[in-house]
């Protein structure tokens, strides 16, 4: 793993936003007393969202204090996981998957677009709108190549990209639009491209081919209920009201 360092310029203080504080309390309640340090990862993530997409050192100190955790321990977590950005990023952080399936399907072309329009990996575009990085598998291999765009709208996937559609995506983001996530080709999620070529007969689905069942297949056979035992006739009573002789 490449070494990861904190940004040279750091804010002096950090505080969670009202919404961020609400989320922090939600996560802290998930862990039993004495185990709250397990919330360090979600707290770092919330801090990153609260601070324009990156985690400053001041936030790590706040988290350490909240969790009664040594600052160096929080730093170890933040520097280990590449999901945490330790330096400022653009308004839209473009994360290009470069793992084998995406690489074989043309992620190199997407990287070239980022380099030509934004600059080297980790740099921020002159207008502050973009920064980019190459990342490991994002789990959308069937729709390769793809990118994840992180901004104020969330962390969204854009898939089935090529050089032209990648440029178009950046144009949409630069103009302030909110591109619809998902494939950029004619397909729904990970379904095949183009129109359906199998199971196209509507009668397969409208119930017209279904035959009425006289009985449910493989249903257990019904068993006859045993007749209830007859009750014995009551004994006759004597004149004295007592049975017997």
What are the structural domains, with CATH classification, of the chain?
Answer: 18-80 (1.10.10), 92-183 (3.40.30.10)
Lowest-confidence region among 20-29, 102-111, 218-227: 218-227
pLDDT band at 244 (very low <50, low <70, confident <90, very high): low
**Measured torsion, CA atoms of residues 172, 177, 183, 185, in degrees rounded to the nearest 10:** -50
Backbone phi and psi for residue 155, each to the nearest 5 degrees, phi listed first: -125, 95
Integer angstrom CA distances of residue 198 from 143, 160, 192, 195, 207: 21, 23, 11, 9, 18
* pLDDT at 233 > cutoff 80: no
239 has a pLDDT exceeding 80:
no
- Among the residue ranges 49-53, 143-147, 191-195, the one predicted with the least confidence is 191-195
Taking the C-alpha atoms of residue 235 and residue 82, their distance in angstroms, rounded to an integer, is 92
pLDDT of the residue at 1: 44
pLDDT digits (tens, 9 = 90+) for 38-80: 999 999 999 999 999 999 999 999 999 999 999 999 999 999 9
Mean pLDDT, all residues of the chain: 90
Q: In whole angstroms, give the CA distance from residue 128 to residue 93.
A: 10
What's the residue count for the chain? 245
Which of 49-53, 107-111, 217-221, 235-239 shows the lowest per-residue confidence on average (mean pLDDT)?
235-239
Residue 23 backbone zone (phi > 0: left; psi -120 to 50: alpha; other: beta): alpha
What does the alpha-carbon distance between residue 86 and residue 57 come to, in Å, rounded to a whole number? 8
Instruction: Give yes or no for a contact between 97 and 161, defined as CB atoms under 8 angstroms apart.
Output: no
Categorize the per-residue pLDDT at 113 as very low, low, confident or very high, splitting at 50, 70 and 90.
very high
Q: What does the pLDDT read at residue 119?
A: 95
Contacts of 75 (CB under 8 A, 6+ apart): 57, 60
Q: How far apart are the first and last CA of the chain?
A: 106
When pLDDT is averaged across residues 208-223 and rounded to a whole number, the result is: 82
**Lowest-confidence segment of 28-37, 43-52, 118-127, 236-245 by average pLDDT:** 236-245
């Amino acid at each position: 793993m490449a070494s990861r360092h904190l940004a040279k310029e750091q804010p002096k203080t950090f505080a969670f936003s009202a919404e961020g504080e609400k989320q922090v309390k939600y996560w802290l309640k998930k862990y039993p007393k004495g185990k709250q340090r397990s919330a360090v990862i979600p707290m770092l993530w919330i801090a990153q969202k609260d601070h324009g997409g990156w985690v400053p050192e001041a936030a790590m100190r706040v988290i350490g204090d909240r969790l009664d955790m040594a600052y160096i321990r929080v730093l170890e977590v933040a520097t280990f996981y590449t999901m945490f950005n330790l330096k400022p990023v653009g308004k839209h952080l473009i994360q290009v998957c470069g793992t084998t399936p995406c690489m074989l399907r043309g992620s190199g072309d997407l990287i070239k677009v980022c380099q030509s329009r934004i600059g080297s990996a980790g740099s921020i575009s002159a207008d502050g709108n973009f920064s980019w990085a190459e990342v490991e598998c994002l789990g959308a291999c069937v729709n390769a190549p793809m990118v994840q765009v992180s901004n104020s709208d969330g962390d969204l996937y854009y898939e089935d990209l090529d050089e032209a559609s990648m440029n178009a995506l950046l144009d949409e983001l630069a103009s302030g639009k909110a591109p619809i996530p998902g494939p950029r080709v004619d397909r729904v999620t990970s379904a095949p491209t183009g129109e359906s070529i199998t199971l196209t007969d509507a009668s397969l689905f409208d119930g017209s081919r279904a035959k009425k069942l006289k009985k449910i297949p493989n249903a257990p056979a019904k068993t006859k209920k045993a007749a209830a035992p007859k009750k014995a006739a009551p004994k006759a009573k004597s004149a004295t009201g007592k049975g017997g002789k």
